Amino acid sequence: MIFHDPHCHILPIGLDLQKLHLGSAESHSDVIRLLKARHASHPDGWLLAVHYDQTRYEGIHLTRRELDEISDERPILLRHVNGHASVANSAALRAAGVDASTPDPVGGEYRRGAEGEPDGVLFELAHEFVTGKVPMPSVEEMTDAILAAGASMASYGIASATDMMTGWFDLERELTAYQRAAELGCAIETRLFLQYNVVFGKRAIGEEALKVAKQRLEATGRSHIDGIKIFADGAIGSATAAIYGAYEGQPDAAFSGQLIYSVERLNSMVQTAHDAGWQIAVHTIGDRSTDLVMDAYEATGDPSRHRIEHAMILSDAQIERLARLNCWVTMQPEFLRRFGHSYLRQLGPERASKLKRVRSVLDAGIRLCFSSDRPIVAGDPRDGIEVAVNRPAGFDPTENISQAEAERLYTTAAAEISFSR
């Protein structure tokens, strides 16, 4: 079977592969042992680790004290497996300019000890702030990362993958790295969706520079710029997906969560990218946000050119409308296994059970395909297929599909959307 992964994050997959993986650690002493070995074998720059998970160490977080014993000069940063928290040592906090006098950011927290000193455990925007101080990888490091990601994905049988956040670090460097990786024989074909703001917004690189970079990249025949990516809302686990109604445990409300842009702004961004001839892919998870995205697509007069990413909560009426607009839709079945417990917690059993209505969406004739969103999940297409065929306990089994249907969504249907621009 030849798989395609039309929504993942290729460069971040590769960068994570270059970091220390803590997935095998069962205790604080395991983590410390792995960090010490890594510190000795890779002595330069920040010591970065991924897949830190205190729920596997009796629920107790490491703090900067334990990490300082490995080094108090070299910044050390352990990223939580959920991507919303991390633990930093003193050198990493210093590099970020964080000390006892630093206030918590809105939407984040520096966990503190008795004296008000940050103890190194960072949540949400505090985690993002310190993570943002990690030096940007060089073009060589990015190239190596893309090659590593390609090799790993090819080992799953994936032939092409679409990066959904190109331009997060620096668009020109990233495009150069994708070009070099392709020239060096990257094991997969790479397709790129550029962040809106690096093409049209305040970080735009300029039409001419983009044209030149695109020509060089596409001359390889193995890497292409396909479209523009926009985020409309957040995620269910952090109660930031824009939904109708309230999250569990919150007071009644007509709608909850977070729209990243005002309705007017979203409409104007979609129209701008559409008028410039781009295919657009919008991240929308909540039902409220998906209505607004459909409004914006419909207003362009050609909604069938564009893609909807995730669409995790859909009413019958929304499914009908999606079919009528004929948008492309990508879904990520592996999420149900990986994040199912947080969906149940945030939405309660009834609403959570109806997430990802794959059967209903297929029956409505919508142009649907699967993808992984790796590195958020492990990203083996077989895992996604398995989940779609047999949804985990607590998730409505009438939305299961057959093995053959699931395979098609990760192969021919995924190829169709990947090459649809």
| Residues of this chain that bind Zn ion (CB under 5 A) | 164, 373
Q: Shortest Cβ distance from residue 165 to Zn ion (Å)?
A: 7
Which of 245, 278, 239, 405 has its CA nearest to residue 331? 405
CB nearer Zn ion, residue 90 or residue 284: 284
> How many other C-beta atoms can be found within 10 angstroms of the C-beta atom of residue 222?
21
Cα–Cα distance, 371 to 267 (Å, whole number): 26
Query: What region, left, alpha or beta, does residue 394 occupy, with left being phi > 0 and alpha being psi -120 to 50 degrees?
Result: left
Least distance between Zn ion and beta carbon 220 (Å): 24
- Position with the least CB separation from Zn ion: 373
* Among candidate residues 360, 379, 380, the one with its CA nearest the CA of residue 368: 360
Q: In whole angstroms, how close is the CB of 243 to Zn ion at the nearest point?
A: 19
The number of residues in the chain equals 421
In the chain, how long is the greatest CA-to-CA distance? 61
Amino acid at 132: G
Cβ proximity of 178 and 217 under 8 Å: yes
The least distance separating Zn ion from the CB of residue 312, rounded to whole angstroms, comes to: 12
Q: Report the C-alpha gap between 53 and 82 in whole angstroms.
A: 8
Question: Quick one: 90 or 330, whose CB is closer to Zn ion?
Answer: 330
Nearer to Zn ion by Cβ, of 166 and 256: the residue is 166
Phi, psi of 370, rounded to the nearest 5 degrees: -100, 160
Closer to Zn ion by CB, 92 or 232: give it.
232
Helix, strand, or coil (residue 245): coil
Tell the smallest beta-carbon distance from residue 7 to Zn ion (Å). 6
Q: How far is the CB of 373 from Zn ion (least distance, A)?
A: 4
Provide the Cα torsion 99, 105, 107, 113; round to 10°: 30
**Cβ neighbours of residue 202 under 8 Å, at least 6 residues apart?**
none
d(CA 376, CA 79): 12
The C-alpha atoms of residue 344 and residue 408 are separated, in whole angstroms, by 29
Closer residue to Zn ion (CB): 66 or 334: 334
Least spacing, CB of residue 298 vs Zn ion, in Å: 24
Which residue number, 78 or 164, has a Cβ lying nearer to Zn ion?
Answer: 164
CA-nearest of 128, 221, 143 to 175 is 143
Least CB distance from residue 194 to Zn ion, whole Å? 14
Closer residue to Zn ion (CB): 137 or 375: 375
Which lies closer to Zn ion via its Cβ, residue 4 or residue 321? 4
> Rounded CA gap, 371 and 375, in Å?
12
Q: 89 or 290: whose CB is closer to Zn ion?
A: 290
Question: Which residue lies nearer to Zn ion by CB, 220 or 289?
Answer: 289
Tokens 């824009």: give the residue: 242
Q: How many CB atoms lie within 10 A of CB 284?
A: 28
CB of 330 to Zn ion, least distance (A): 9
Q: How far is the CB of 376 from Zn ion (least distance, A)?
A: 7
| Cα 45 to Cα 26: distance, rounded to the nearest angstrom | 26
Rounded-to-integer distance, Cα 327 and Cα 241, Å: 20
